[in-house]
Amino acid sequence: MDQIKYVNIDGRDVPIEGEKNLLAVIRKAGIDIPTFCYVSELSVYGACRMCMVEIEGRGLQTSCSTPPEPGLKVKTNTEAVRQTRRVALELILANHERECTTCVKSMSCKLQDLSRKLGVEKVRFRSIQKPMPVDEGNPSIVRNPNKCILCGDCVRMCEEVQGIGAIDFAYRGHDVVVQPAFGKGLEDVECVYCGQCTRVCPTGALTPKSETEEVWRALQDPKKTVVVQIAPAVRVALGESFGYQAGELTTGQIVAALKMMGFRKVFDTCFSADLTILEEGNEFIQRLTSGLPLPMFTSCCPAWVKYIEQHHPDMIPNLSTCKSPQQMFGAVAKGVFAPELGVKKEDMVVVSIMPCTAKKFEAKRPEFSEGGIAEVDHVITTQELARMINEYGIQFRTLKPESLDMPMGFKTGAGVIFGNTGGVMEAALRYVYEKVEGKTLENPDFHEVRGEAGIREAEVTLAGKTYKLAVIHSLANARDIIAKIKSGEKKYHFIEFMSCPAGCINGAGQPVNFDPDYRRNRTRGLYEADKMLQLHKSQDNPYLKELYGTKLGEVGGDKAHHLLHTHYNARRRMKGRSMVIVDGKTTDKLEIRVCVGTSCYLKGSQDLLHHLAKHVADQGLQDQVQVKATFCFEKCDKGPTIKIGDKVIDHCDVAKATAAVDKAIAAKLKMA
């Protein structure tokens, strides 16, 4: 036996086959080492100490941070290992809010699970935790710091995978906490509400915000007509909450459950995904021929849209003006379908079942309401739907499948694959190919845009011209691609962006699943659902043809544009925070504010701030002037921006700023 290739684990030789740490080798051997802070897609942290093992000659070591060296002799279940794990777990439990029976994470909590597995029956340590307020001011995520175990999973997910850094460790010693900048709520910082922090959080410290009570009230209101839409990714994941394998289609059972609950009509978001493709594909063709900004970015993912608004407002013109499928559905349901049912818009309640927490935020954007009436009233996640089914007492596995309602329940395979990374791009290509080439696409599959890599590039030739495409998932990858586009290193015509790794099938609202293959299985389920349908191209949907023929007119026409398109604006990354650099003693001070947000910072605002502070000091005006660094005037495309008194100066430089300050001070002294 070649010892160079093996690690001895509990007396058995286990081969090393490219694993990056000892933990992976041990798990390959069929031993499930407990972890909190280890997530395979994140960097190794090694803080929770739950994965300790005993290595001959080295003593206790964390297996997540130990490379698998040939010849190591490892024991995974010695008395020292067991006691170390129990003590570590008890210390975590001592400072954890143990309201497990009412915790939304109760059935999928790692802390609860490991307490059972490791036989922890009592906690011997005194709590030094001071209760902290729960952050629930945003529409998508609830942050309960009293349930945080400081594993850092959320911090690393937000920084490493999403490239945002909206949440981090603060303070030191026993005062350390995980929180947004300056102790603010998530709604006041640059959080994009993707919710991936909730997906990796092992406890109930970060969870999707529930809207189930609002939905129950709507269902019980006799004055309301409640309709519901089911997103593509939901159908391959909900079953996991009831014992099905990831990827198994449960659409029929979902419909049956929703009708039992009292929903008037059960529709499919895939219908409006088909609708999105017609509008978005048409927009792409127009951009190719009219000189509008390229590359065109997809706009289906609300977390991605918010990211662009906050970090790259200069590229908002590249965003497709199409609403997302969720919002197109709401617009059509209330603008077209409600009158056909004889229902007033204000009396129709549209509920969305989504894999995504950011969809909750999207539904509440002011752009998606008219006259105080929202297009989509409530958004519940796949997790929330599972809880509602259990709360109602429905025996999900015994349900006989029922059919979606027409016309907004009909879809093609193009709409179904929207839930996968690359799905939007492929669906669009199925439409664009026929429109540009002027002939039928016999094989609808575009395998070149499929895959698991976070950045995928492809080329397609249409009418003799070659177009460059990209498919991106996770926002850190998006950040890198946008930087290369701005530098001129990369050139594309069309890019699909999704915030969640692997796309919507891995949205934060999906059931928690620890199977390493769950993403692949959910992805496979949607592609198989596409194959089982008779139609695979959005333009072949007969109900869409009828909708355009009777209500919307031409694809991309005035009527369709008014109902199905929108606009986006630069958005502040941080709300209500200024840092005082120079503060005068008089009460009647001249206030100078310099934006140091990302866009202005990159254009030189930090140097501008330092110059102004020095200029005020050199002129001996410290008692008359207050200089502040602030975060945003929401004019990111016009930076650097400063405000002197009531006057805002865009595209400011040192000369402009100095002259404006001197003029304002002179005017102030003259008035005095």
Q: Using an 8 Å Cβ cutoff, are 369 and 398 in contact?
A: no
Contacts of 598 (CB under 8 A, 6+ apart): 311, 573
Distance of alpha carbon 143 from its chain centroid, rounded?
A: 15
Residue 23 covered by a domain: yes
Provide the 10 A C-beta neighbour count for residue 502.
22
What token pair was written down for 86? 């129990």
Mean pLDDT per 10-residue segment, the chain (672 residues):
75 91 93 88 87 94 92 93 90 84 85 87 82 94 94 94 94 89 91 96 95 97 97 98 97 98 98 98 95 94 96 95 98 95 95 98 95 96 97 97 97 97 97 95 96 96 95 97 96 97 97 93 98 97 96 95 93 64 62 82 83 83 80 77 89 88 80 64
Whether residues 351 and 454 share a domain: the answer is yes
Query: Which stretches of 104-188 are assigned E, i.e. beta strand?
Result: 141-143, 168-170, 177-179
Tracing tokens 């609403």 back to the chain, one arrives at 323
Tokens coding 27: 């798990």
Amino acid 428: pLDDT: 97
Quickly tell me which residue has 């398109």 as its tokens. 565
The residues that bridge with 649 in the sheet, in sequence order, are 642
Look at residue 586 in the predicted model and tell me its pLDDT: 52
* pLDDT the model gives residue 73: 94
Helix axes 269-290, 423-437, angle to 10 degrees: 50
pLDDT given for residue 672 in this prediction: 58
Q: Residues 294, 334: one domain?
A: yes
Domain harbouring 609, CATH code = 3.40.30.10
Confidence (pLDDT) at 129: 77
CB atoms within 10 A of CB 175: 9
* Domain containing residue 655: 578-671
pLDDT of residue 15: 92
Last residue of a domain, one of 67, 91, 115: 91
DSSP-assigned letter for residue 395: -
Same structural domain for residues 489 and 442? Answer: yes
Residues marked as catalytic: 280, 283, 300, 320, 359, 362, 367, 504
CA distance 154 to 168: 8
Nearest CA among 132, 522, 499, 43 for reference residue 304: 499
Handedness of CA 624, 630, 634, 637 (dihedral sign): positive
DSSP designation for 274: H
Is-contact 418 428, C-beta < 8 A? no
Identify whether 570 is part of a domain: no
Report residue 64 as tokens: 């997540």
Q: Given the structure tokens 């799905």, which residue do they identify?
A: 423
Residue 234 resides in a domain = yes
Instruction: Identify whether residues 222 and 204 lie together within a single domain.
Output: no
Q: Are residues 555 and 642 in the same domain?
A: no
Q: How far, in Å, CA of 316 to CA of 321, rounded?
A: 10
Whether 81 and 128 share a structural domain: no
Calpha distance 182→180 (Å, rounded)? 7
Evaluate whether residue 572 is within a structural domain: no
Closest CA to 374 of 322, 329, 343: 329
State the Rg of the chain over Cα. 28
What is the predicted pLDDT for the residue at 1? 43
Q: Reduced to 3 states, what is the DSSP secondary structure of residue 65?
A: coil
Residues 102, 40 share a domain? no
User: Final residue of a domain: which of 192, 208, 224?
Assistant: 208
Burial of 237 (0-12, 13-18, 19+ CB in 10 A): buried
Listed in sequence order, the residues at least 6 apart from 147 whose beta carbon sits closer than 8 Å to its beta carbon are 96, 97, 103, 203, 204, 205
CATH code for the domain of 68: 3.10.20.740
| Domain endpoint, select from 155, 180, 208 | 208
Same-domain pairing of 48 and 115: no
Is 307 in the same domain as 338?
yes
573 lies in a domain? no
How far apart (Å, rounded) are the C-alpha atoms in residues 541 and 413? Answer: 10
Q: Do 321 and 402 lie in a common domain?
A: yes
At CA 557, angle to CA 333 and CA 534, rounded to 5? 60
Q: Is 333 found in the same domain as 267?
A: yes
- Give how far Cα 6 sits from Cα of 22, 25, 399, Å: 11, 10, 50
Q: What's the number of domains the chain is made of?
A: 4
571 within a domain of the structure (yes/no): no
Are 69 and 197 in the same domain? no
Asked if residue 137 is part of any domain, the answer here is yes
Residue 623 covered by a domain: yes
